[in-house]
Each structure stands twice: as structure tokens, then as C-alpha cells.
Amino acid sequence: MTMELVRGTCHHDCPDTCGWVATVEDGVAVKLRGASDHPYSQGELCPKVNRFLDRVYHDDRILHPLVRTGPKGSGKFEQVSWAEALSVVAERLQAVIAKHGGEAILPWWDAGTQGLIQMSSLDRIFFARLGATRLSGSLCGATSEHGLTSTYGSGLSADPMDVRFAKLVVLWGTNTRLTNRHLWPFVDEARREGAQLVVIDPIRTMTAETADLFIQPLPGTDVALMLAMMHVLVRDGLVDSDYVSRYAVGYEALADHVASWTPARAADVCGLSALQIETFAQLYGTTRPSMIRTLIGAEHHENGAMFYRSLGCLPVLTGDWRFRGGGLAANGTWAWFGDLIDESGFELPVSTRDINMSHLGRALTDSDVGIHALFVWNGNPVVSAPNSRLVRQGMAREDLFTVVSEQFMTDTARFADVVFPATTQLEQLDVVASWGHMYLGWNQPAIAPLGEAVPNTELWRRLAAAMGLDDPVFGYDDEALIRLALPGIDVDELAKKTWIRLNFPEPYLPFAEGRFATASGKAQLWSDELEQQGYGGLPEYRAPTEKPGPHNGSFPLSLLTPKNHTRFLNSSYSHHHGRQETGPYVELDPADAAARGIEEADQVRIWNHRGELSMAAHLSNRLRPGLVAVPWGWWGEAANVNILTNDTLADWGGGVAFYDTTVEVAKVSVGG
């Protein structure tokens, strides 16, 4: 028997990007454990990943090309050879291009496999050569970075690991213990040294349960809370005047602007008490260093970018950027990798139109848009895109030729005409840049691809050959592609060590002496660019267009779709671990339930103008009246909460307002 240990990096769309070690015996992976020497994940794999081998070797894996034999959505396919599947795709694409032009083809991909080359690389050249429509926007991530950039000129933020040096930790809109769990030991370290913990969230999460101070604003009202904090900082002389005068512009205008944003005014908007706001603002204004940690949840509002633009002003006012353990640790850590990664080798200049990925349903159901061929990889948009009933309706078109690369027969794959078998992370080479820490990770394939599965890069090579595309880059193997994209990195060293810290100083104090990436080099408390674009030069609270409350007689409740489950990550694993998780269900505050005659475990209907679901009710004190929650990630139309969610785009940055969704809930009558 031969045995080896193969080191790799987790590929999931998660800030933790953990290092792992696979034990391989005679070519079969028999164990997967966290890499104990990884400085961030420190040997732990989360419950979503520590049984990843079950997924790799699952009997339901798609291991051969499939061609549809039944109606769209039926999931009826027959196995064919690669040559036959490629021939079908090439013939159908050529017919679409001949009749409708290249822009009738739409690629749709996301971060189901997150990595330098397997997420998106050769596909860009492939679709550019076809003249296809370009995909724009982001289901998550881009809005927050654009918002922060409006204040700082870039998405750069503090090193999250430095939270261990903070004296006040503010976890704003992030359930750290569940969705960023490898950061939690660093938060614990700070608390052991006397730091206080504040959690701000519309839901009393497992993280909130551990807080010294928990603040529960109404969803989407956070900017009003921030403006009131600024009011207190200015009013009580808690602004670091020296830092602001040296390294910020627009302070006077901001001070005048927040003069009317008293804690009492914000309390009415946020559903809080003025005392809560005063207490928090005083604590933040008098404790150095204070670190705010946030992730992507708050961007899922119509005014999501303004959240991050406004949040970025707070550590500027207090001068927290001077200190290790201070400032703002957002998910804009992608900006750290920007200067190291050169993706120009995967790009071709194109002048085709673009479609926002959150508007997939609109694009597929609008005949004027004219999409006649769809490619999907690294994602499951029938589950993960908003207004997903419209997505399902569009994908059911018999005249839409759809190609999906997948590991399992997802809700999306069921609508495909051709399905190609995709490898898992254990079967492919890649490099993974984290959006939660400063380490670049190498992933060495541990086993040979199962069946006839191929990495995404190989799929594009084969499709390019079938379409007669002969760009030289299609002849590069995966290691050559990595070297092409990492000209400033010693790839041999990275492969040997598995992970390397980016070449930033330690401690990392990006804005201790200003040096913001703006034209002036200063933080923009006032932004000329936003003023010119109509968003206002100063941080500004705006209510969403779709908002709950008594005025909204049809749909008076606000819906959130949190990630509640220990073993689900996005839409991955729900069909594997569903029996180990509770749900799906709709969570209600007891007062809202009583007003509707709903008791625990009653079957209820939850609906709005986009669609409806029927599921069990779960009464909970985690919510406040007026708010309901359905956990996200379940497959199947009957459980997919995105049937209800809002596909209005965010203010700027290309994101989408999942969380600005209103609904009503009613008990299902017996026999009804």
C-alpha cells in the first residue's frame, strides 16, 4: 500500500480559506483534516467541510457527460461520450450565433469553486471569441468593496487577525461564530485580554448571545445608527481632530450634516432606544483601539453600498487607524491581492453588452433581451439568484440551449441540455486568494479525477477546440496558467509551502499616516464623485423602496434569509446533510405569530408578489416583531426562499437587495 499526505486549500466561498491535508492511500483519499501549521485556520476544518470526502465519493456524483432526454427540468438524461457532448454544444452554439449573433449567448458563473483559474480564467477568452454577452454585477462582495472604496479610494481594510489587539470588538452584521468561525479564536484572545464585544445584528445570532452589548436594529437601518454615532462623537469631543485634519476631507460638512441626527432621531428609525445608541457611541468613542468587523450580509440591501461608505467614516473620526487592532476589517481584503494577480492574459477587449447576474430571470424571460444559449458553472442560480421563480421560468424555455458544468444534479442542472462532469477541489490544481486573511493558498490535487470529470480549465480547452478557437493560451496547462496570472509570486515556493503571507508589513497599519487611495490621499468624509452621481456627498440614510410596516398592507413583514445551518455553505450540501439539519421553516416572533393565530410547527404560507412557499412555523425570540426569517440554502422549489427575494439592484457596485423583501405569513387551514 502506498500512502501520502497532500496539502491543499479549501475552495469554498468563505472568508476563512482554510489549509487542509488529505491522506491518500493507493490513490484514494481516506482522510481530510485541517493543516495544523496554517496560521489562520490552525488545523480546524468547519463542519461544512470536514466531511468533504463524503461529497467527493458520493454515489450521486456526475462523472460522465449527459444529454437531456426528457422535458426541461425533469432531470432525465442519458450518458454520452465527451466527443458526442462537445459536438452537440458546438453545433447548437454555431446555430445560435448564425441566427441571433454572439450576444445571444450568456455565461453565468459564481464562486461555488473559488480559485484563481478554476473560478474564471479561460472562459473569458472563450466567450469573448464568441462575441457573447458579458456577465456583470455580483450576488455578494462587490457592493461592499465599492462602498468602502467611496470613502477610502480602495477596498483595503485592516488585517482581521489583528482583532486580537483590540480593546473593543464590534461585530457588525456578521455571525462570526458560524460563518467566519476561524476568526473567533482571535476575538476570544482579545476578550481574554479585557476587550469588550459589541454585536449589531437584526437577529439574535449565536454570536450575539456571547456579546457584552447586543444591539438589534431594524433591517437596513444601520446607516441611521452610524449617523447618530457620528453625532455623539462630534457633540462630545470624541473625534481625533489631529488625525481628521491631517488625513480626511469634508469634516466640517459632515459635522453639520450629523448635527440633526440625534440618538433620539435614529432610535425612531432603527427601532432602538436613544440610551442604547448613546451607550454604544460613547463606548466606541472612548475605547482605543476599536476594531469593527463586518462581512457581506449588510450589502444585501438597496442601499448596501452606503452602509460600507458610512461605516468607513467611523474609524477615521476616532483615529483608530493609528493603532494595531483598530480600524475596520471588512471583506475588501481582495484588494490586498489586486497588485499580485495579473488576469490580463485571460482578457480580450470586447464591446458586447453586459447583463447583471442578479437579473438572470429577467434576461431569460424578456424576449427583447434575446438570450438563446446559457452556460452555467460554479453556481446554482435556480437556488442562489433572487426572484428565482423567474429564473426557473426562463430556464424552462425549450428554445433556450443550456450547458451546465456540475458535480451533482442541482436544480439548475436539471434544466440543462448538456451537463459536463466537474472535478472537486481534491481533483484539481489551483491557487486560492482569501477574502478573510492575508494568506495565499496553493491547492495540490490529491487524487486523479473520478470518472470522466475535468477541471473547468480543461472544459474550456475542449470547448475551444470543438469551436475551432486556437488562441495560444488554450494550450497552457494549469500550472502555466497560474504562473501567467502570478508574475510577482515565486510559484515554486508557494507550491512547496502551500501558503504564503502577502508581502505587507507586520503590523499592518494601512492608514496610520493617511495614504488613502483617493486623489487627495485622504479619506473622503465628503465625496465629490458620489455627489455628482446623485448619491449625496455625505453619508445619508435612505429607506428602501420595498419596505415593511403598517403602511404596506399587503406585505407588512420584513424577510431575512440568513445562513443558519452548520453544514450548509451557500447551496452546497443541503441535499447531502438535510437530514442532519432542522428545516426548512419560517421563523417568527411570538407576537407576530399570535396576531395571525399561528402556533409552533403549524403549516403556514409565506408569500409576496413574486411567489409563495409553504412550510412549518418556528416561533423564536431571536427576532423582533415585524421580522421573519427563512434559512437559505435548501434545494427544491418548495424550500427555496429566493423565490420570494427582491432582485432590485443595490445603490452602486452591482449587488442586489435580497434583504429588502416584504412578505405576509398566514396559517394554512386544515384541508386547505
Indicate if 40 and 152 belong to the same structural domain: no
Indicate if 149 and 288 belong to the same structural domain: yes
Indicate if 381 and 323 belong to the same structural domain: no
Last residue of a domain, one of 11, 26, 56: 56
Instruction: For residue 471, give the amino acid letter.
Output: D
In Å, what is the CA distance from 374 to each residue of 11, 127, 337, 412?
24, 11, 31, 11
- pLDDT level of residue 337 (50, 70, 90 thresholds): confident
Indicate if 161 and 287 belong to the same structural domain: yes
CATH number of the domain within which 49 lies: 2.20.25
- pLDDT level of residue 243 (50, 70, 90 thresholds): very high
CATH number of the domain within which 655 lies: 2.40.40.20
Indicate if 28 and 88 belong to the same structural domain: no
At 581 the pLDDT is 67
Which DSSP helix (H) or strand (E) runs through 248? strand 248-249
Could you give the 3-state DSSP secondary structure of residue 588?
Answer: strand
Q: CA–CA separation, 270 vs 223, rounded Å?
A: 9
**Does any domain span residue 336?**
no
**Does any domain span residue 529?**
no
At 672 the pLDDT is 45
Mean pLDDT within 279-307: 97
Number of domains forming the structure of the chain: 4
CATH number of the domain within which 73 lies: 3.40.50.740
Q: CA–CA separation, 619 vs 373, rounded Å?
A: 44
**Does any domain span residue 550?**
no
At 340 the pLDDT is 84
- Going by the DSSP 8-state scheme, the letter that residue 332 receives in this structure is T
Burial class (CB in 10 A: 0-12, 13-18, 19+), 2: exposed
- Asked if residue 224 lies in contact with residue 488, where contact means CB atoms within 8 angstroms, the answer is no
Q: What is the DSSP string of 638-654?
A: TT-GGGT---PBPSSSS
**Does any domain span residue 598?**
yes
Is the backbone of residue 194 left (phi > 0), alpha (psi -120 to 50) or beta? left
**Does any domain span residue 540?**
no
In Å, what is the CA distance from 49 to each residue of 16, 186, 387, 425?
12, 21, 29, 11
At 218 the pLDDT is 96
CATH number of the domain within which 166 lies: 3.40.228.10
Number of residues that this document lists for the chain: 672
Residue tagged 386547505 (cell numbers)? 672
Indicate if 383 and 285 belong to the same structural domain: no
In Å, what is the CA distance from 487 to each residue of 120, 279, 333, 391, 491?
18, 50, 20, 39, 9
At 133 the pLDDT is 97
At 638 the pLDDT is 78
- pLDDT level of residue 637 (50, 70, 90 thresholds): confident
Indicate if 83 and 49 belong to the same structural domain: no
Domain coverage including residue 605 = 557-667
Tell whether the model's pLDDT for residue 48 goes beyond 90. Answer: no
Indicate if 565 and 483 belong to the same structural domain: no
| pLDDT: which is higher, 666 or 638 | 666
pTM listed for this prediction: 0.96
Could you give the 3-state DSSP secondary structure of residue 590?
Answer: helix
> Does a cis peptide bond (omega within 30 degrees of 0) precede residue 584?
yes
Where is average pLDDT lowest: 51-55, 556-560, 667-671? 667-671
- pLDDT level of residue 89 (50, 70, 90 thresholds): very high
Indicate if 316 and 358 belong to the same structural domain: no
* Average pLDDT in the chain: 94
Residue tagged 446623485 (cell numbers)? 534
CA 124 to chain centre: 21
Burial class (CB in 10 A: 0-12, 13-18, 19+), 386: buried
Indicate if 238 and 263 belong to the same structural domain: yes
Pairing mode, strands 327-329 and 290-293:
parallel
Mean pLDDT within 417-431: 98
Mean pLDDT within 187-198: 98
**Does any domain span residue 570?**
yes
Mean pLDDT within 337-365: 91
Indicate if 276 and 424 belong to the same structural domain: no
Tell whether the model's pLDDT for residue 639 goes beyond 70. Answer: yes
The set of residues, in sequence order, having a beta carbon less than 8 Å from that of 29 and lying 6+ positions away, is: 22, 23, 53, 56, 57, 426, 446, 447
At 657 the pLDDT is 96
Indicate if 97 and 171 belong to the same structural domain: no
- pLDDT level of residue 106 (50, 70, 90 thresholds): very high
At 334 the pLDDT is 66
pLDDT digits (tens, 9 = 90+) for 254-266: 999 999 999 999 9
Q: What is the DSSP string of 134-176?
A: EEE--SSSHHHHHHHHHHHSS-----GGGGGG-SEEEEES--H
**Does any domain span residue 514?**
no
The angle that helices 456-466 and 82-100 make with each other, rounded to 10 degrees, is 60
**DSSP strands (E only) in 364-415:** 373-377, 401-406
**Does any domain span residue 510?**
no
